[in-house]
Structure 1
Amino acid sequence: MEQVNPTRMELIKKNAQIKMAEQGRDLLRQKMDVLIHEFFNVMESFSRSRDELEAVAADAQHSLLLAEAVDDPITLKSASFATRRSVMLEVRSRNIMGVPVPVVEKKRMSRSVVERGYGIVGTSGRLDETAEKFEAELDMLIDLAEKETAMRRLGAEIQMNRRRVNALEQLLIPELKRQARYIKISIEEREREDLFRLKKVKKLLERKSQDSVE
């Protein structure tokens, strides 16, 4: 046990520390409850989006295979190079109980035939359909990445909060209570000793008083 000074002032100090530690623990618990609730909300949305993505990706792949089987491969390759472009994203964050989670601001990837960059003449509707489905898949991938990042950050904060709560509950608060109990017992023992000495002194004084009278 940490060396403590068994005085009333020290006991008051320890009781104040216990109260503060318990308040901190309760606040961390409340924060963790909110974070866990938010985490499961995001996870549920992530799970739905992932299932949707698998279906969209399978559909897009099927359209691509069909286009490759029917259309001219050189035309397909030329169209794929023509449609290449960087994806511009703007990422900001929103705050959940002190945890910044990303919010991706983006324009939809879906474009018109003219915007894709390849010529309308010489290409089929199958190519347009394939491009549209892969653009939809890219939209969903970006949305999924946003949710996954939010889950990772919330999960990390939940774990850190749990460690803090455990440290307060299992280490700091019990130790402070042991110290407070030790101080209280020491004070009570000292008071009993003082009372015993006072009674003894009182008896001695009374005896001396009686002897002087005689």
Structure 2
Amino acid sequence: MQANVSATRMEMLRLRRKVELAERGHKLLSQKRDELSRQLVQISRGIAPLRKEVEKALNNTSRRFMLARASMEPEDVAAALEVPVKKFNLAVQFASIMNVRVPSLEKKLEGDVICYGYAKTSPELDAALYSLEKVFDMIIELAEKEKQAYLLATDLQKTRRRVNVLEHVVIPETKDTIKYIASRLSENERDNTSRLMIIADIIRGDQ
């Protein structure tokens, strides 16, 4: 890089401005990196315990459905669940965390999860459906948190790479080039001074 650089004062001024911008960008990106890390840690802390709750609730729901099937005739189970009356919609909104768009999920439900009469059904089926409704809320929350964590982690990785490139490549290499230009300019000034002194000696000798 230094071999092809133009060793002029204009080039040195340009590179100094480049260093100033790079250092300013490095500071801002470092702040963003630190805040992304903090937000990611905060979100990630809640994921593992929530996932355990979801797994436990799913196992409990599955157990209740097995008990319901064991206490009812197969055709009664099929008839009870044949026509669901509860409607589900999922609204997705976006928030910004350090310029990263992360989703916020909100469910909208209409109707009752119990969509059958009680004559041929077991109370265990009621409990299973209510348990399923509850675990569904937890699954949505878990999906929201995991997606947020993924997006933040992806942007954090990009930000770290940019910080490292500025810190270990762009800024030091540009500063080295500035030193090289300054050295060349000083050398040229010494050469010019020497030539002027020689010329002055020649002129004085002629006189």
The TM-score, its normalising length taken from structure 1, stands at 0.88
Aligned twin of 1:141: 139
> Segments of 4+ in structure 1 off by > 6 A?
none
In terms of mean alpha carbon deviation, does 45-54 or 167-176 score higher?
167-176
Aligned twin of 2:153: 155
Aligned twin of 2:69: 68
* 1:91–1:105 contact (8 Å) kept in structure 2: yes
SS of residue in 2 equivalent to 1:116: coil
Letter paired with 2:163: V
1:78-111 deviations in Å (ceiling 9; x for gaps): 22223375531110000001100000121369x7
Shift of 1:8: 1.4
CA distance in 2, matches of 1:35, 1:86: 37
Letter paired with 1:87: F
CA distance in 1, matches of 2:198, 2:87: 94
Aligned twin of 2:100: 99
Aligned twin of 2:170: 172
* 2:91–2:108 contact (8 Å) kept in structure 1: no
Aligned twin of 1:37: 38
In terms of mean alpha carbon deviation, does 182-191 or 7-16 score higher?
7-16
* 1:82–1:116 contact (8 Å) kept in structure 2: no
Aligned-pair identity (%): 33
SS of residue in 2 equivalent to 1:95: strand
1:37-61 deviations in Å (ceiling 9; x for gaps): 1111111111121111111112111
The structure whose Rg is larger is 1
Aligned residues: 206
CA distance in 1, matches of 2:160, 2:109: 39
The TM-score, its normalising length taken from structure 2, stands at 0.91
| Runs of at least 5 residues in structure 1 that lack an aligned partner in the other structure | 210-214
SS of residue in 1 equivalent to 2:88: coil
The CA RMSD over aligned residues, in Å, is 1.9
SS of residue in 2 equivalent to 1:82: coil
Aligned twin of 1:53: 54
CA distance in 1, matches of 2:192, 2:85: 91
Shift of 1:170: 2.6
SS of residue in 1 equivalent to 2:197: helix
